[in-house]
Structure 1
Amino acid sequence: MNLEGSFTLIALMDGTTINGTLRVEGTPLVQRYNKGTVVFIPDFTALPENGRPTVVVILRDISNGSILVPNTIEYRYNDLLLTFDNNGLSTNSGMVGYFKKIDAYSTTIGGATYKVPALRVMKNLVPISGYDNDRITVSGTVEISGSSIGFNALSKEVVIQESTGNQYDALISNNKGSQLLTAGESLTDTVRIFKDGVEVTDYTGFTFQWVKMLGAGDTNWGTSRTQVVSTNDVDNVLKLRCDVKKDGSLVASGYDEVTDFSDPYYTIIKITGISGNTVKKGETATVTPVAAKRSTGEEVPSLIKSWTFSLKDNAGAAFILTGKDSATFTGTNAKIPFEDMVRAKMGLSGSISGVA
């Protein structure tokens, strides 16, 4: 059998019983600016409220796939804890009204409608971004079998760029929350394209290449705007990328990660050597995958004989660790020092494949 796993050093989960994802609805978390002006693309304040970027929190019990609703939740913009008034609007100095906390946001997951927490962007973020990328982070607790379990630092990057005109972004969506629950189930991923913040309706001249981002390396897949993903395609988790070309030139890439909760085993990613959820100067993170039974959470280290790692930097390019010959390598773990994080532009993600 095969198992797939993935990790990123800037979005770690505490504990092994919760699967957490952040899904962006509305428009992408991307905003551009014209240098020397107050022109922002798109202008979030000009969009209808339900069309503004909305970060949706989706949590599942990894043993059975059931949707979990947090007992407590915290939102941070970069490292700043956001505070809110009775209307749900942010009250932090310099950020008054920039964000709106929605406690019961209606979203579709697996064909059913759920009320889950969400954070909506209400104003243009460029003025508070320092003109570079920022990050929205979510932490909190859920109750499972009478116990309070924490989840920590789920995050989404806020992309801030200078506008050069005619810029595209890609957003991948499906109606199942990127999660499959039963054997043989499938979902359909669809790419939405935005040009300068406005969703494209005419797809003439666009081509698509779906890519499986596996621990053993990238593998090309379908070439249409949609991609069907079934449990047969997923070994625990499947990281997907869709490269979008316009008249033959790459203009944008969208990403998704699909989890198969029908697999009897899943991959636990243990990260040691760091405090908090980032690698600091003088620290080395050790990433160790372990197979576990989905029904009980019992670890089965002997199940997988070989793990293969495939690493990418913060820009999505293949990244070679110090002492390695390739971005793809086999081993029981990956050791990532702070110096490598700097070379990786302060962000590093990886796909992991295990073979029994």
Structure 2
Amino acid sequence: MSSLFDPAQIGDIAVANRIVMAPLTRNRAIAGNVAGPLTVEYYRQRASAGLIIAEASQISPLAQGYLDTPGIHTPEQVAGWRQVTDAVHAEGGKIVLQLWHVGRISHSSLLPDGAAPVSSSSRRSEAKTFTRDGFLPVSAPRALRDDELPGLIDDYRRAARNAIAAGFDGVEVHAANTYLLEQFLRDSVNDRSGPYGGSIANRARLLLEVMQAIVAEIGGGRTGIRLSPLTTFGGTTPLDSDPQALYGYVVEQLAPLGLAFLHVIEGETGGTRNPPAAKPFDYEALHRSFPGAWMVNNGYSRALAMETVAEGKADLVAFGRPFISTPDLVYRLSHDAPLNELRADKLYGGGAEGYTDYPTLAA
């Protein structure tokens, strides 16, 4: 029987405990969308996590969806992230980078030459995004052409290679929260014909080709993926017409790739674990189909996390907002100590306040 505080092997990555810092967008990249000195300190403070999944980072200029989010497609961005990974490793931690393409959840002011966002279709989202003028409705997207998709896959491959060059222990592919890869997966958005639309197999094709390319580049043991079968992430996308069949197929196809982990968001991202509008969903069926480490996420308390790992229902538990407010979360969970209060008004953008100034219990 495993404990939440036991070490584990996640593919090629040995971790000191089973507590994961989930990827958290904080909008504090400096000029050039580079991770700066504050970001170095932020992750260094949280290096006691068994694994840190660093915040979503765009794989190309066209992949950006929010102001001041870091990238992993320029030499300057690689160098900035190298300072982060060196700091985490010096503290004994492990860290992977989440690879991100937002697709239609973007605004033209954030994209090269005011370009339109891209997606599986031209269907516009009702979401808003964070720009220099505050939160604005996202721009209307254009549908990617089939002949553009090999270049997109190469962007993911290069981003994975850059992440390893930046010192990361691996990558997590962001295929959740209604961003680009999920925009191809779900029939509520993807209205394409041809090889990347229509059937479940066709809608899953892009995701699987991306994963195959990354595994070929850096190895399955350093590659993970994040899925969110039931999330609408603030109402930006309706669910697929048959989530169980869709995500069941995806996980079955991922299984032979030898991935290090699968990170599943149970329920609505940042919300309820059992959305009232959703049909019952069998996450355990997905778990049984996947041979790598199984990571769960969404509103886990200390008690539920400990119980879930002890009963073998998951190998790892990811915590999001608790890690924002509590840099020594692992210590506090192990000692059943109270956590710091989160300052929600400091989540996005700004400086050290609400970012690197939360105290440890010792302090």
The TM-score normalised by the length of structure 2 is 0.27
Larger Rg: 1
- Looking at secondary structure, tell me which structure has more helix per residue: 2
The TM-score normalised by the length of structure 1 is 0.27
